[in-house]
Structure formats: structure tokens, C-alpha cells
Amino acid sequence: MPFVELETNLPAGQLPPGLAQELCAAAADILGKPAERMNVTVRSGLSMVVAGSAEPCAQLVVSTIGVVGTAEQNQRHSARFFDFLTAQLGLGTER
């Protein structure tokens, strides 16, 4: 079962409604797994510093077996997750 954990310092009220379900669907598509097998957690309002700055940011942890093995796979998956998160959270590309 894939596990996807999104952590952000954005308050819950600034997250789009249904973000967990949208992330679940996106992750299932990106990883080629059924949505019914996905485990998604969204944690908001955290105290976070990325690249020395506490400006709005997020980090995503993806754990799965047999899907993120090669550098090419990781690059493709990372790019798609990055596009999803920057669009959903309205963060700059550096965050």
C-alpha cells in the first residue's frame, strides 16, 4: 500500500477543500496504483523551515514498493507531484 504524507505550514483554512481526496486521486494516477490502495495524510499549520525560510512551504513523502526505484521513475513522479502541489497550494516553484 502506498503512503503519501503532505506536510505544510499553511493553515488548514488556506488549503483547498477536498485536498486529501484530490491528492489521493493524483497519487494513484502518478504511481499507477488503485485509489482504494492509497493511504494519504495531510498535515497543515506546522512549524516548518525550508531552505532557511519559514515562508509558506510544503514537503511530500511518498513510500511505496516497486514504483519509485530508478532515477528516471523518481524524476517523472517528482515532476508530476510538484505540478500538482504547486497548483493546489499556490506555492512558488522555489517552495
What residue ranges do the domains of the chain occupy? 2-89
Question: How many Å apart are CA 8 and CA 47, to the nearest integer?
Answer: 8
H helix runs in the chain, sequence order: 19-31, 71-89
pLDDT at 54 over 70: yes
Residue 67 has pLDDT above 80, yes or no: no
Tell me the pTM: 0.91
Which residues, listed in sequence order, are joined to residue 59 by a DSSP beta bridge? 7
pLDDT band at 1 (very low <50, low <70, confident <90, very high): confident
Mean pLDDT, residues 9-16 taken together: 97
Number of neighbours of residue 54 by Cβ within 10 angstroms: 10
CATH number of 2-89: 3.30.429.10
Q: Order across the sheet with 3-8: list the strands.
A: 39-43, 3-8, 58-63
Share of the chain above pLDDT 90, in %: 82
